[in-house]
């Protein structure tokens, strides 16, 4: 079973990289892109028998390792 | 007096710390590999600078799970002095021994330069020989030193006097120009609630002899030597 984990900075945390990308896009004429937030994407291969187990395992490693809860939040998709 | 310098894969200031303790301070330093589970009877511990585990995932995020870290935590919990320098500070943040997190520098650049610092607190084992408000010139070398903490955490750090160093200009003012990375409240270093665990982004171990451009970092090592000699843990 596969899980996709998306880690992003919390909305309250300034994202210097996303800000710079947004400014670059504006200078390229993409003024309609009002903001950019950069994040991380992980694909996990999980040896677990069912969906509930996959969800639980992915959430545990995302919370403990993949994301820093002080500044980041995460979202999981199972595939 | 014995100092444990923890070596992670990718540490690169471990020898600088070893040199500062052994050859400038005149104490005894010992390297402790990150897979060791004991600090070999050390009186104080340094987590040195560098790029542990290549800074993969996040700075300090993997080093935090090293086999040596439970021993570091137990030592800190027992009141032992622990100093995290640069990447060592980032490891302390990731491990929860100090609060907050590091973001990418606000200008996205790696800063390698001398900066001015103001000593905010002298009631830690690493600043007890300094003067309140003392100006220090120390080098920094980091890409992720933009200190962040949620508003409630930041407020409690300030209320409890746990900001130990701030970036400041030569007359001690906290200007935006003097802040190299965008850290909240110009924070360069903090301590834990018990005040025995200190982390800072600048490198005192690289500035212990005037031939290196500054000897201002020596006061941190003299402080911990005096604290331990006095037999009291601050």
Which pTM value belongs to this model? 0.94
Q: Which residue is closest to B62 within chain A, CA to CA?
A: A65
Asked whether this complex has an ipTM greater than 0.85, the answer is yes
Instruction: For B37-193, list the strands marked E by DSSP.
Output: 44-47, 82-85, 101-103, 111-119, 135-142, 146-148, 163-167, 187-191
Residues of B in contact with A8 (CB under 8 A): none
pLDDT of residue B232: 53
Residue range A2-78 in CATH 3.60.20.10 = no
Residue B86 annotated among the catalytic residues of the structure: yes
The more confidently predicted of residues A79 and B119 is: B119
Strands A39-45 and A2-9: antiparallel
Q: Which of B3, B13, B34, B86 is catalytic?
A: B86
For chain B, the domains span 2-229
Closest CA to B41 of B82, B2, B80: B2
Q: What is the pLDDT of residue B231?
A: 81
Domain ranges of chain A: 2-78
Of the candidate CATH numbers 3.40.50.880, 3.40.50.360, 3.30.565.10, 3.40.190.10, the domain formed by B2-229 belongs to 3.40.50.880
Out of A16, A66, A70, name the one closest to residue B104 (CB): A16
B52, B7 contact by CB (below 8 A): no
pLDDT of residue B233: 47
Query: Which pLDDT does position B234 carry in this prediction?
Result: 42
Q: What pLDDT is attached to residue B117?
A: 98
Q: Specify whether B15 is catalytic.
A: no
The answer to whether B80 and B201 are in contact (CB under 8 A) is no
In angstroms, the CA A71 to CA B57 distance is 14
Please identify every stretch of chain B with a pLDDT value under 50, giving residue numbers as ranges: 233-234
DSSP state for residue B25 in the 8-state scheme: I
Contact A13 B103 (CB under 8 A): yes
């Amino acid at each position: 079973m596969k899980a996709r984990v998306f880690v992003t900075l919390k909305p309250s945390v300034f994202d210097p990289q996303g800000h710079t990308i947004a400014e670059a896009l504006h200078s390229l004429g993409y003024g309609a892109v009002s903001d950019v937030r950069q994040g991380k994407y992980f694909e996990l291969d999980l040896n677990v028998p069912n969906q509930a187990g996959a969800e639980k395992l992915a959430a545990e490693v995302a919370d403990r390792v993949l994301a820093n809860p002080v500044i980041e939040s995460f979202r999981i998709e199972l595939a | 007096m014995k100092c444990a310098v923890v070596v992670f894969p990718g540490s690169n200031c471990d020898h600088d710390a070893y040199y500062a303790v052994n050859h400038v301070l005149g104490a005894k330093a010992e390297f402790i590999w990150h897979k060791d589970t004991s600090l070999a009877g050390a009186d104080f511990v340094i987590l040195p600078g560098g790029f542990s585990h290549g800074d993969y995932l996040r700075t300090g995020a993997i080093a935090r799970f090293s086999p040596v870290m439970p021993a570091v935590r137990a030592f800190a919990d027992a009141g032992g002095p622990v100093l995290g320098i640069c990447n060592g500070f980032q490891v302390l943040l990731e491990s929860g021994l100090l609060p907050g997190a590091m973001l990418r520098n606000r200008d996205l650049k790696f800063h390698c330069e001398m900066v001015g610092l103001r000593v905010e607190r002298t009631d830690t084992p690493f600043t007890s020989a300094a003067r309140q408000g003392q100006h220090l010139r120390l080098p920094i070398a980091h890409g992720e030193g933009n200190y962040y903490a949620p508003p409630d955490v930041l407020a409690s750090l300030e209320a409890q006097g746990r900001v130990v160093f701030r970036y400041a200009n030569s007359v001690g003012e906290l200007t935006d120009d003097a802040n190299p990375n965008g850290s909240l409240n110009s924070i360069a270093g903090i301590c834990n609630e018990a005040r025995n665990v200190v982390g800072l982004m600048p490198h005192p171990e690289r500035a212990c002899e005037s031939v290196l451009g500054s000897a201002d970092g020596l006061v941190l090592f003299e402080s911990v030597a005096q604290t331990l000699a006095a037999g009291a843990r601050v």
